Amino acid sequence: MKNIVIVGSGQLGSRHLQGVLKYNKEKLAVYVMDPSQDALEVSKERATEVDHNHELHFITNIQDYPKEAEVAIVATNSNVREMVTIDLLQRTKLKNLILEKVLFQEYEAYDRFTNEISKYEIKVFVNHPRRLTPAYLEIADQIKQIKGRSYFSIVGEFWDLGCNSLHMIDLFVFLSNSKLKSINTDGVDDTIIHSKRKGYVEFTGTITGIMENNDSFALSSFPGERGPLTLQIATTGNRWFIQEGGTKAFLHLGEENKYAVAQHDFFQEFQSNLTTQITNDLLENKECGLPSYEQAAHTHKIFIEALLKKYNAITNLNETKCPIT
């Protein structure tokens, strides 16, 4: 029987658990680890919502990890992710590892972790799941056929610029088919907002950036009540407009049809279903559509360095860790 490990069993971890439990090709032994019994209760409850025949182990001690596992998912907060993941690597022989974002709060942690995983024969991915969305896959294919630069923008009200920007920037990296070159946080508001997660902060304002191929982007989060995101993608002869959050279609205006508005299906899967897809891909095909650690870490490092500089400028501190998750 193949083992699966999920570390962190709160809101996100419990959704990953549901996704693993929906895998039906074979019976799995699923280990859910969290030092908090209350967090484990969340996962226990959500496990009952899925009809399955897998073997479940809810554990609070790292001594109870299995000796080996096909897939591990680390869904803890960013402030403990490096330590928790290294503990897991030292105790369990893993074939595949999936990490949540923000990977790490400290710039130096990325190189430390790169050195750590080099000791093991393991594939490491980062959970930026917009790369699996059919509409974005379709748009990415279309952009590849277009010569010239692309511009990406997102506008919304208080959508957690610190917490969620990396998801959007990774999407732009994917659509651009290029690496991130630089980020500018001068447009971020000079106000620190305390996150709903204790010990973390949020930001409003605008983050801009540029890719190595000179594609560019802007992310804007206005103060106010939380609202849907509006995404625009512009290339030579093409415009795409997408509103994430409840919408079932996106709009495309293209030169080839004289910029008449064409409507296409848009659907984003819940994490619980995405994890089923990812589990299936890793167990059956040994690969998945998520970015590798190497790809994601390049983006995360640039982002963390830029936002930490802004955070220290606002607070007049000299912190080495950016308190986002």
Tell me the one-letter amino acid at 82. Answer: E
Mean pLDDT of the chain: 96
Structure confidence at residue 102 (pLDDT): 96
CA atoms of 302 and 322, how far apart (whole Å): 12
CA atoms of 77 and 293, how far apart (whole Å): 17
Residue labelled with tokens 């093409």: 238
Provide CB contacts within 8 A for 167, sequence distance 6+.
101, 128, 130
Structure confidence at residue 166 (pLDDT): 98
CA atoms of 271 and 108, how far apart (whole Å): 30
Instruction: With CA atoms as reference, report the closest residue to 116 among 93, 91, 68, 82.
Output: 82
pTM: 0.96
- Other C-beta atoms closer than 10 Å to the C-beta of 212 total 12
CA atoms of 59 and 36, how far apart (whole Å): 10
Provide CB contacts within 8 A for 51, sequence distance 6+.
none
Structure confidence at residue 15 (pLDDT): 98
Strands 123-126, 151-157: pairing kind: unpaired
Sign, CA dihedral 177-179-184-187, equals positive
Structure confidence at residue 210 (pLDDT): 98
Structure confidence at residue 247 (pLDDT): 76
Q: What are the C-alpha distances in Å from 137 to residues 56, 124, 131, 153, 174? A: 34, 22, 7, 18, 9
**Per-residue tokens: 313:** 């400028």
> Which DSSP symbol is given to 321?
B
Structure confidence at residue 248 (pLDDT): 82
Structure confidence at residue 264 (pLDDT): 92
Structure confidence at residue 228 (pLDDT): 87
**Per-residue tokens: 233:** 């993608």
Q: How many residues does the chain have?
A: 325
Instruction: Supply the DSSP string of 61-117, one letter for each residue.
Output: -GGGS-SEEEEEEE-S-HHHHHHHHHHHHHHSEEEEEEEPSS--SBHHHHHHHHHHH
Residue ranges, the chain, pLDDT below 70: 246
Structure confidence at residue 151 (pLDDT): 98
Structure confidence at residue 197 (pLDDT): 81
Structure confidence at residue 58 (pLDDT): 98
